[in-house]
Amino acid sequence: MTTVETYPTLAEAARAMGQGAAFLGGGTVVMREVNAGTAPGRIVRTTDPSLREIRASGDGVTLGAGVTMAQVLASREADFLHPVARQVGGPQVRNMGTVGGNLFAPHPYGDFAVALLALGARVVMAGGGSPRPLEDLLRDRGRAPGLVAAVEVPRPRDARAFGFLKVSRVKPKGVSIMSIAALLPREGGTIRGARIAWGAMGPGPMRGSGAERALEGQRLDAAVIARAAAQAAEGLDPPTDAIASAWYRREVAGVHLKRLLEGML
Ligand SMILES: Cc1cc2nc3c(=O)[nH]c(=O)nc-3n(C[C@H](O)[C@H](O)[C@H](O)COP(=O)(O)OP(=O)(O)OC[C@H]3O[C@@H](n4cnc5c(N)ncnc54)[C@H](O)[C@@H]3O)c2cc1C
């Protein structure tokens, strides 16, 4: 049997989570587990309105963890994330699926989290403390990391500095063979602080260190893109599933990274 507990505030929900429960965001993943009989016995949710807030903050935007993909798409403050949110599932999934849920959605899901990882997002936990890099949370996510309250997302300097590509067999709403996000801030044309993130190429969203090394300190041109593409799969650990084999994912990673980077020239 599954019991659902509803709390009026994030703080109360966070305390309840500490006692071995799962949090219910939009439920597009959790409710499947409930139906399959594999969900934890206790599910916690909250009606705290702060979870659904989108706020412009400094040079970026803060998304409450309960903000849905549809809300992102309706928000001017989060306009740089529209091309990403649009790629998550179909309309029903975007109406229900949340930013917080996307951080913990199992393979091959987590397209939005891939973009947030490339953008250098930080997570605010409901229990308090200073915001921590999303990268750390993703590394710890198998170990009950607690309730995420919000995600702070820096805005890329200009439209050319950020790119996102989702590769799927079924258009427009199939799940990912892979997704790739690239942040390439440029100073006088030279890339400083390259971040490449991959989805469906490991147990969760991962940085691509080989491609990042090939891009850092360079001017983006055909030769640099070719070098980054050649290093694309370095350090990644793609799984084999019903959508694609690990071998296939490795083989085509460079081709898709090249396509994404060519669009950022
Ligand atoms: C038909 C279908 C298509 C889909 N297509 C895509 C797709 O194209 N791309 C994609 O990325 N995903 C896809 N998904 C997966 C999913 O819908 C999304 O990843 C969505 O963003 C998950 O959010 P949710 O709020 O529904 O998560 P939930 O089901 O509520 O939760 C998912 C997990 O996250 C945890 N969680 C949720 N919120 C928090 C929080 N604030 N703090 C801590 N833990 C939390 C839950 O406990 C649970 O473990 C699809 C799902 C379906 C059913």
Is the backbone peptide bond immediately before 83 cis, with ω within 30 degrees of 0? no
Q: Is 11 in contact with 49 (CB distance < 8 Å)?
A: no
List all residues whose CB is within 6 A of at least one atom of ligand 1: 22-30, 65, 88-89, 93, 96-98, 100-102, 104-105, 109-112, 147-148, 175
pLDDT digits (tens, 9 = 90+) for 190-227: 999 999 999 999 999 999 999 999 999 999 999 999 99
How many angstroms does the Cα of residue 190 sit away from the middle of ligand 1? Answer: 37
- Closest by CA position to 179, among listed 164, 159, 195: 164
> What's the pLDDT score for residue 172?
78
> What's the pLDDT score for residue 19?
74
- Closest by CA position to 88, among listed 25, 166, 34, 180: 166
The per-residue pLDDT of the chain, averaged, comes to 95
Pocket test for ligand 1, best of 44, 50, 88 (most atoms within 8 A of CB): 88
Backbone angles phi, psi at 128, to 5 degrees: 100, -170
Pocket test for ligand 1, best of 44, 68, 98 (most atoms within 8 A of CB): 98
Q: Is 196 in contact with 118 (CB distance < 8 Å)?
A: yes
Round the CA-based radius of gyration of the chain to a whole number and report it: 18
Whether 7 has a pLDDT exceeding 90, the answer reads yes
- Closest by CA position to 104, among listed 84, 123, 79, 78: 123
Domain 159-262 falls in which CATH fold? Enolase-like; domain 1 (3.30.390)
Is the backbone peptide bond immediately before 108 cis, with ω within 30 degrees of 0? yes
Domain(s) of CATH 3.30.465.10: residues in the chain: 3-154
The tokens describing 27, both together, are 């439920």
How many angstroms does the Cα of residue 104 sit away from the middle of ligand 1? Answer: 7
Domain(s) of CATH 3.30.390.50: residues in the chain: 159-262
How many angstroms does the Cα of residue 99 sit away from the middle of ligand 1? Answer: 8
> Using CA atoms, how far apart are residues 52 and 254, in angstroms rounded to an integer?
37
Question: Which CATH architecture does the domain made up of 3-154 adopt?
Answer: 2-Layer Sandwich (3.30)
How many angstroms does the Cα of residue 76 sit away from the middle of ligand 1? Answer: 23
pTM value is 0.98
How many angstroms does the Cα of residue 86 sit away from the middle of ligand 1? Answer: 15
pLDDT band (50, 70, 90) for residue 171: confident
Contact residues for 109 (Cβ-Cβ < 8 A; gap 6+):
29, 102, 175, 176
> Using CA atoms, how far apart are residues 99 and 86, in angstroms rounded to an integer?
13
> What's the pLDDT score for residue 231?
97
